[in-house]
Amino acid sequence: MSALALAPLDLDEYAAALDARLQGRSPQQILEIAIRDLFPGQIALVSSFGAEAAVLLHMVAGIDRSTPVLFLDTGKLFDETLAYRDEIAAQLRLADLRILRPDQKVLAANDEAGTLWFRDADACCRIRKVEPLERGLKGFAASINGRKRFQSATRSAIPLVEVDGARLKFNPLATWGPQETADYFRIHDLPHHPLVAKGYPSIGCAPCTQPVAAGEDARAGRWRGQDKTECGIHVSPLPSQTRTLDE
């Protein structure tokens, strides 16, 4: 699949064309096309090392373990997440794990006491996740993430490929459900995040993540009781119609 043969000038059109061409492909096939054919050396995997992250990390490592993996260390994560990150990174022999952290000067000016999450969760996510990731993604033409449609109502229509600011975002596991994920863990003998067994099917920062009850969306424990469902890293910062593939 040639990037040049598919690429119109408008980034939205390019994303839609890729999305249409990739329908019916397996996650591994989508990743191989994205990493090897379309964006060699220009794509990164963004991973939380959360409840289901090992699946995508394992797939990417099997294709090219030198693919950069971007991890947001917000300073508010569970200790279990940090330990799990180190375990998976060592097991998969990830060659380019990049730890992204918030700007210390910005934290000092806006969250010196470390309680911004309680007063303004959106501002906290912006400082600790959105801004560090945008810095970390500079120079990349595309990114990969593990969002799935079954995880919540707000994710039920995510495409395989979408526009994210001035780059493309691949969602190779979008069509997978809980069974496919569980089967992959079992077949490849991947270790689970230790908090999964304690009722955390979706794991973010410790102050804003709670266990989920039976029958709830997988992400129901994130920002529980607030009118908030995403941290902001999966919301395009600019109107995509103004950009082209060459930008």
pLDDT tier, 243 (very low <50, low <70, confident <90, very high otherwise)? very low
| 142 pLDDT above the threshold of 50 | yes
pLDDT digits (tens, 9 = 90+) for 177-199: 999 999 999 999 999 999 999 99
- Contact criterion met (CB below 8 Å) for 203 and 192: no
208 in active site:
no
| 88 pLDDT above the threshold of 80 | yes
Sign of CA dihedral 168, 96, 218, 233: negative
Q: Which residue has the higher pLDDT, 67 or 213?
A: 67
pLDDT at residue 245, rounded to an integer: 40
Query: Whole-angstrom Cα distance, residue 131 to residue 117?
Result: 15
Burial 64-90 (b: 16+ CB within 10 A, else e): beebbbbbbbbebbbebbeebbeebbe
**What is the DSSP annotation of 98-157?**
EEE---HHHHHHH-TTS-HHHH-HHHHHIIIIIHHHHHHTTT-SEEE----GGG-GGGTT
- Contact criterion met (CB below 8 Å) for 163 and 247: no
Question: Among residues 26, 68, 37, which one has the least CA distance to residue 160?
Answer: 26
Q: Which residue has the higher pLDDT, 234 or 244?
A: 234
68 alpha carbon, distance to own chain's centre: 13
* Catalytic hit among 124, 125, 208, 231: 231
pLDDT at residue 234, rounded to an integer: 59
- Contact criterion met (CB below 8 Å) for 52 and 194: no
Average confidence score pLDDT of the chain: 88
Q: Which residue has the higher pLDDT, 220 or 69?
A: 69
Prediction pTM value? 0.87
Q: Which residue has the higher pLDDT, 236 or 223?
A: 223
Mean pLDDT of 34-52: 97
Q: What phi and psi, each to the nearest 5 degrees, are found at residue 62?
A: -70, -20
